[in-house]
C-alpha cells in the first residue's frame, strides 16, 4: 500500500496534503517564527541578553487565589476532577460567568466553556458559516483570524480602520456590507494597537449591523486597561452579539486554554445557535474545555492580574521609544505597542533589530505593513535592559536620541 501511495504521488507530482494548508503555511504567522528565533538566540547568547517582544506570553504569575484553588482541587480526594464534563461545560462555572457579565436575561444556558478564545472563535465560526459567507475583519487584525474564517468555508473581508486613531471607520464598514455578510469580528482592547473602542462608535456600529448580522467580539484583554478607560459591553449594545473570551491574559494562563462563549439572549436564531455551538465544540475535537480549570473558575474568587504591572511597562517602553523619535499611539489596553516603522521595508527593519537582539513582529502580519508590534508583557528587567539597544538601533537609523 505504501508503495502504491508513493507511485500515486509521483504520477501526480504534487504533495498529498491539503493545497489550502500549504498555501496558508507560506503566509503563516510571523509571531511564532519570531518566537522560535528568540528561543534560538537565548540559547546562544543567554536569555538576559535577548529582548524578545514577539509574543503575548504574560510574564506575571497567576494570582495567588487562583494557584491556591488549583492546589486545593489537586489535593482533594474527590473523584471526577479530571473527568469529562458536559460539552457546554460545568453548570457552576457557567452560572458564575453569566452572573459576572451582568446582562439582562443572560443565564448559564447562554454560556459555553471553550479551549481559550481561539477555540471559541473556531466554534462560533463553525456554527455560523455557510460556504462563501463573509466575515468583516478590521485592519490591523490578529493574523490568525483569517485562517479561522478559512477553516470553516468563510471569506474574510478586510476593512481598514482610521490610520491615525485605529478606531473603526464606519463609512468603510458600511461600504463593505453585502448580502453575504454574516458577521463582523471585533477585538477590543485591541491586538496589536492597544486601542479600546468607545461606546459611541459601537452604538453606531450596532445601528449599521441591524438585526441580520452577527457581532463577534474577541475579548481576551478585557480586564487589561489603563488610565481609567472602560470597555463597553457589546452584549448590552448589540442584539446579535457573541463574545469570545479567554482567561489566558487576565489570569496569566495562556497555556491552559480556558475560555468561554457568551451569547446575547437577543441573538437571531438563538434556539438553534446555542445547540449549534455545543455541537461544534464537540465535533471540532475540543469535546470540552479543560475540566480542572473549569472547576477553578467555579470555585476561585473573581480576580485578575493587576493591570498596573502592565501599565508601568507600557509607560517605560512607550516613553523611551517616543523619546527616540518613534511615532506610536499610547495604548489604552492590552499589552502591545504598535509603532510606525522607520523603514519602508518592515522585514529589513526586523533584521536590523535582530542585530541588537531585539525581536519584534512586522506589521505586515497584521495587515498593516507600515507598523511593527511589540509585546510588553515581558519582565520589567527585560524592558529596562533593552533600552540601550533601542537607543543604538535608533542611532543607526539617524533618529533623534
Out of 11-25, 100-114, 274-288, 302-316, pick the least confident: 11-25
CA angle 66, 68, 70 (to 5 degrees): 70
All three cell numbers of 246, joined, read 479567554
pLDDT in tens, 301-337: 999 999 999 999 999 999 999 999 999 999 999 999 9
Q: Over 60: is that where the pLDDT of 8 sits? A: no
pLDDT in tens, 23-78: 776 656 666 677 677 778 877 877 788 999 999 999 999 999 999 999 999 998 77
SS (H, E, C) 251-300: CCCHHHCCEEEEECCCCCCHHHHHHHHHHHHHHCCCCCCCHHHHHHHHHC
In this prediction, residues 341-362 reach a mean pLDDT of 95
Q: Over 60: is that where the pLDDT of 3 sits? A: no
Position 4 scores a pLDDT of 56
Instruction: Provide the CB-side half-sphere exposure for 75 (13 A, CA).
Output: 6
Helix axis angle, 346-355 to 380-396, nearest 10°: 110
Residue 10 banded pLDDT, cuts 50, 70, 90: very low
Q: Over 80: is that where the pLDDT of 103 sits? A: yes
Q: Over 80: is that where the pLDDT of 142 sits? A: yes
Considering the chain, what is the average pLDDT of its residues?
92
pTM: 0.92
pLDDT in tens, 289-310: 999 999 999 999 999 999 999 9
Q: Report DSSP letters for 106-135, one per residue.
A: --GGGEEEESHHHHHHHHHHHHHPPTT-EE
In this prediction, residues 123-132 reach a mean pLDDT of 98
Position 216 scores a pLDDT of 98
| Percentage of the residues of the chain whose pLDDT score is greater than 70 | 93
All three cell numbers of 86, joined, read 458536559
Please list, in sequence order, all residues whose beta carbon lies within 8 angstroms of the beta carbon of residue 376, skipping any fewer than 6 positions away: 53, 310, 313, 314, 317, 335, 336, 337, 383
Residue 163 banded pLDDT, cuts 50, 70, 90: confident
DSSP symbol at 219: -
Position 80 scores a pLDDT of 83
pLDDT in tens, 262-285: 999 999 999 999 999 999 999 999
Please list, in sequence order, all residues whose beta carbon lies within 8 angstroms of the beta carbon of residue 23, skipping any fewer than 6 positions away: none
Amino acid at each position: 500500500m505504501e508503495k502504491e501511495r508513493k507511485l500515486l504521488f509521483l504520477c501526480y507530482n504534487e504533495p498529498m496534503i491539503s493545497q489550502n494548508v500549504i498555501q496558508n503555511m507560506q503566509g503563516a504567522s510571523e509571531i511564532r517564527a519570531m518566537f522560535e528565533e528568540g528561543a534560538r538566540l537565548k540559547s546562544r547568547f543567554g536569555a538576559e541578553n535577548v529582548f524578545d517582544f514577539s509574543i503575548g506570553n504574560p510574564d506575571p504569575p497567576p494570582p495567588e487565589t487562583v494557584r491556591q484553588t488549583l492546589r486545593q482541587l489537586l489535593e482533594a480526594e474527590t473523584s471526577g476532577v479530571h473527568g469529562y464534563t458536559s460539552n457546554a461545560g460545568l453548570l457552576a462555572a457557567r452560572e458564575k460567568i453569566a452572573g459576572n457579565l451582568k446582562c439582562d436575561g443572560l443565564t448559564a444556558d447562554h454560556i459555553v466553556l471553550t479551549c481559550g478564545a481561539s477555540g471559541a472563535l473556531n466554534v462560533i465560526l463553525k456554527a455560523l458559516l455557510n460556504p462563501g459567507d463573509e466575515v468583516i475583519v478590521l485592519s490591523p487584525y490578529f493574523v490568525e483570524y483569517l485562517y479561522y474564517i478559512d477553516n470553516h468555508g468563510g471569506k474574510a473581508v478586510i476593512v481598514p480602520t482610521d490610520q491615525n486613531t485605529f478606531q473603526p471607520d464606519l463609512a468603510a464598514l458600511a461600504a463593505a456590507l453585502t448580502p453575504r455578510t454574516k458577521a463582523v469580528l471585533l477585538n477590543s482592547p485591541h491586538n496589536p494597537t492597544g486601542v479600546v473602542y468607545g461606546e459611541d462608535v459601537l452604538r453606531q456600529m450596532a445601528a449599521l449591523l441591524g438585526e441580520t448580522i452577527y457581532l463577534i467580539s474577541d475579548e481576551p484583554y478585557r480586564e487589561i486597561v489603563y488610565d481609567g478607560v472602560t470597555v463597553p459591553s457589546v452584549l448590552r449594545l448589540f442584539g446579535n452579539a457573541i463574545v469570545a473570551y479567554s482567561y489566558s491574559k487576565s489570569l496569566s494562563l495562556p497555556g491552559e486554554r480556558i475560555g468561554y462563549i457568551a451569547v446575547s439572549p437577543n441573538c437571531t436564531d438563538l434556539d438553534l445557535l446555542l445547540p449549534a455551538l455545543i455541537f461544534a465544540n464537540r465535533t471540532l475535537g475540543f469535546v470540552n474545555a479543560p475540566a480542572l480549570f473549569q472547576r477553578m473558575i467555579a470555585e476561585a474568587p473573581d480576580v485578575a492580574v493587576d493591570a498596573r504591572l502592565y501599565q508601568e511597562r507600557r509607560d517605560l517602553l512607550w516613553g523611551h521609544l517616543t523619546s527616540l523619535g518613534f511615532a506610536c499611539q499610547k495604548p489604552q489596553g492590552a499589552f502591545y505597542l504598535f509603532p510606525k516603522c522607520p523603514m519602508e521595508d518592515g522585514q529589513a527593519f526586523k533584521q536590523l533589530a535582530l542585530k541588537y537582539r531585539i525581536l519584534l513582529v512586522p506589521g505586515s502580519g497584521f495587515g498593516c505593513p507600515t507598523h511593527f508590534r511589540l509585546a510588553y508583557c515581558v519582565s520589567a528587567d527585560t524592558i529596562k535592559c533593552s533600552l540601550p539597544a533601542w537607543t543604538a538601533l535608533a542611532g543607526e537609523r539617524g533618529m533623534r536620541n
